[in-house]
Amino acid sequence: MFHEFAFSTVAERSDSHPAAWRIPFLRWLDGIEAGWAVPLLLACFVAVWTAYLSIAYAGAGLHPDVLETWTFGRQFAWGYDKHPPLMGWIAGAWTAVFPLSDWSFHLMAMTNAALALWCVDLVSRRFVTGDKRVIVLLLLMLTPAYQFHAQRFNANSVQLATWPLATYCFLRAFETRTLPWAAAAGLTTALALLGKYYSIFLVMSFAFAAMAHPQRRAYFTSASPWISGVVGLAALSMHLDWLVANDAAPIQYALLHARSNLSTSLRDSLFFLLGLAAAMAVPAATWLIVAGARIRYFSTEMATLNDGLRLLSYIAIGTLGLPVINALVMGTDLPSLWALQGLFLLVVIVVCGASYRIARFHTVNIAVLTAGIAVMAAAVAAPLHAFYRNKHGYEEGRTFYQQTAREATRQWRELTGKPLEHVGGTESLALATTFYSADHPAYGLPTTAHQTGADSGSGGWISLCFRDQADCIGAAEAAAAGSGNYVKREFAVQARLLGWTGCTRTVVAFLVTRPKEP
């Protein structure tokens, strides 16, 4: 008790007579309601973490998920074989403006994360003003979701922005029951589903929250939910038509995750919840320090939430509980990273539901902690990571992507005198070659390249495998032997970072120069 009193006294004294180094932070906090403080925070977030990614992965290629996202987005389509189309659309639109380079995709990933945080702030400002708005964002920045999860721009990370945006519009539709907000809720919910079908749990959570809320009668007897449903279905109509025409390929791919037995699903569900708890550990500990003895009011505050926060709490329960129920019933996989985009609900509910004022002493400390972690990550951890990976490599071979793409393209042009049109083999090398080769070939052999919207052509192809991938080599050799004249070659690639040589690996290439006519 004495310790708590002393800490409170220090906080009050700091707010009354702040140290000189705190004054810039206090002036920044004064700009929250003026409208410039949050954009400045998000701009700094993007700058520092883009720098981190550019340094940490210098000498290495982009993650295969990012390369796959770009490959899908090379041509606009209402759907793609493995995933709904939103991630491909975003990558395609981004590369129409920004160059095709690693730093550009790092910037895209962090811009998506910053947009997600801005959408979270839209929700927060419905309930609080001033410092608590920033505290919500700072606590979320202490989770791994908006940096390390966000860097791998794919169907999972695209939900970071779509979930809070859809939640905000649903909250406004529930509160106002007006046509514009009802339509916005339907449209943004459809957008979330176009990001990943896992968002069906968000849709179901909206329905659950509306039915559990004390104002359910007013909502369901209005036109709001029905307008949302009609607008949402209309927004999804072209994608649904594509699904019918393509045998629901993304759904068939998703069902590959539904093969677990009950014991495995129980284990996965436990690790799902533990993984989310681990992701929230640092912000939770930080909030406990800030709340201090006032944490004893937590249960009372949660029981007396206002109508809007109560709605969000029901949504949070749904987004955590419904995936677990589904996993147990259907035997689906349930990695915790699939649900990281919903963690914002917990932070908003706890911070905005706190009835007490947070001393600026604490707000500044959280800001310094968050900034310190980001700067240390970019200045210290990132270079160490880059040098470590240059020496030890990655399992998927990211260290060798650019070298492999260049050498495979060179050998193809030397052999045929023509641009490389198609590349197959192990997925990671094939995707990397589509991106890093100057020819930007289509991903997949001519008979399958249509799956990414590319022209199938007829000019032959290369299949690439690492020499230690026996299955890949066997399949590639069989395809090459059955397709026409081919040449088998091997070449070594070596990692290199700022003149430092690193690990090496051998690539096996099958060059099919004159495929048989179909």
For residues 103 and 239, state if they share a domain.
yes
The pLDDT of residue 435 is above 90: yes
Q: Does 402 fall in a domain? A: yes
Q: How far is Cα 19 from Cα 10, in angstroms, rounded to an integer?
A: 12
For residues 370 and 430, state if they share a domain.
no
* Last residue within a domain, chosen from 335, 352, 379: 379
The pLDDT of residue 449 is above 70: no
pLDDT, average across residues 436-458: 70
For residues 130 and 158, state if they share a domain.
yes
For residues 122 and 271, state if they share a domain.
yes
pLDDT at 8: 61
* Last residue within a domain, chosen from 379, 408, 437: 379
Q: Does 387 fall in a domain? A: no
- Amino acid making up residue 165: L
The pLDDT of residue 5 is above 60: no
Q: Does 460 fall in a domain? A: yes
Q: Does 390 fall in a domain? A: no
Give the pLDDT band of residue 447 (cuts 50, 70, 90): low
Structure tokens given for 345: 């609900």
> DSSP per residue over 390-421, as a string?
HHH--TT-GGGHHHHHHHHHHHHHHHHSS---
pLDDT, average across residues 401-425: 95
pLDDT at 453: 43
CA angle, 90 then 316 then 331, to 5°: 80
Give the pLDDT band of residue 448 (cuts 50, 70, 90): low
Q: What are phi and psi of 465, to 5 degrees?
A: -140, 150
Q: How far is Cα 237 from Cα 53, in angstroms, rounded to an integer?
A: 37
Q: Does 18 fall in a domain? A: no
Give the pLDDT band of residue 516 (cuts 50, 70, 90): low
Mean pLDDT is lowest, of 23-32, 248-257, 341-350, for 248-257
Q: Does 215 fall in a domain? A: yes
Segment (H or E) for 292: none
Q: How far is Cα 483 from Cα 97, in angstroms, rounded to an integer?
A: 39
Structure tokens given for 447: 């008979």
Q: What are phi and psi of 443, to 5 degrees?
A: -80, 125
Q: How many domains does the chain have?
A: 2
Which one is predicted more confidently, 514 or 174?
A: 174
- On the 0-12 / 13-18 / 19+ scale of CB atoms within 10 A, 144 is middle
Segment (H or E) for 291: helix 281-291
- The chain-wide mean pLDDT, for the chain, equals 92
For residues 337 and 475, state if they share a domain.
no
pLDDT, average across residues 437-454: 73
CB atoms within 10 A of CB 100: 12
Q: Does 87 fall in a domain? A: yes
% of the chain at pLDDT higher than 70: 93
The pLDDT of residue 261 is above 90: no
Structure tokens given for 267: 């284990």
Among residues 111, 226, 113, the alpha carbon closest in space to that of 163 is found at 113
pLDDT at 329: 87
Q: How far is Cα 214 from Cα 307, in angstroms, rounded to an integer?
A: 8
pTM for the full predicted model: 0.93
pLDDT at 14: 66
Distances (CA, A) of 265 to 197, 321, 328, 332: 19, 14, 5, 7
Give the pLDDT band of residue 482 (cuts 50, 70, 90): confident
Q: For residues 473 and 467, is the Cβ–Cβ distance under 8 A?
A: yes
For residues 358 and 455, state if they share a domain.
no
For residues 338 and 464, state if they share a domain.
no
pLDDT in tens, 98-115: 999 999 999 999 999 999
pLDDT in tens, 392-402: 999 889 999 99
**Domain hosting residue 92, numbered range:** 40-379
Give the pLDDT band of residue 213 (cuts 50, 70, 90): very high
Strands, E assignment, 190-301: none
For residues 406 and 369, state if they share a domain.
no
For residues 191 and 224, state if they share a domain.
yes
Q: What are phi and psi of 96, to 5 degrees?
A: -75, -15
Q: How far is Cα 182 from Cα 420, in angstroms, rounded to an integer?
A: 50
pLDDT in tens, 360-381: 999 999 999 999 999 999 999 9
For residues 259 and 362, state if they share a domain.
yes
For residues 368 and 445, state if they share a domain.
no
Question: Who contacts 24 (Cβ-Cβ below 8 Å, separation ≥6)?
Answer: none
pLDDT in tens, 484-513: 789 999 999 999 998 899 999 999 999 998
- Amino acid making up residue 57: Y
pLDDT in tens, 44-54: 999 999 999 99
Query: 210-214: long-range contacts at Cβ-Cβ below 8 A with a sequence spacing of 24 or more?
Result: 210/174, 210/311, 212/314, 213/174, 213/307, 213/310, 213/311, 213/314, 214/307, 214/310
Q: How far is Cα 365 from Cα 14, in angstroms, rounded to an integer?
A: 11
Among residues 85, 107, 239, 75, the alpha carbon closest in space to that of 154 is found at 85
Q: Does 46 fall in a domain? A: yes
- Amino acid making up residue 253: Y
Alpha carbon of residue 397 to chain centroid: 22
Residue 80, sorted as left (phi over 0), alpha (psi -120 to 50) or beta, turns out to be beta
Q: Helix, strand, coil: what percent of the chain each, to 5? A: 70, 10, 25
For residues 156 and 243, state if they share a domain.
yes
* Last residue within a domain, chosen from 379, 406, 441: 379
Map tokens 């990273």 to a residue: 337
Map tokens 């514009």 to a residue: 180
Structure tokens given for 116: 């997600």
pLDDT at 265: 84
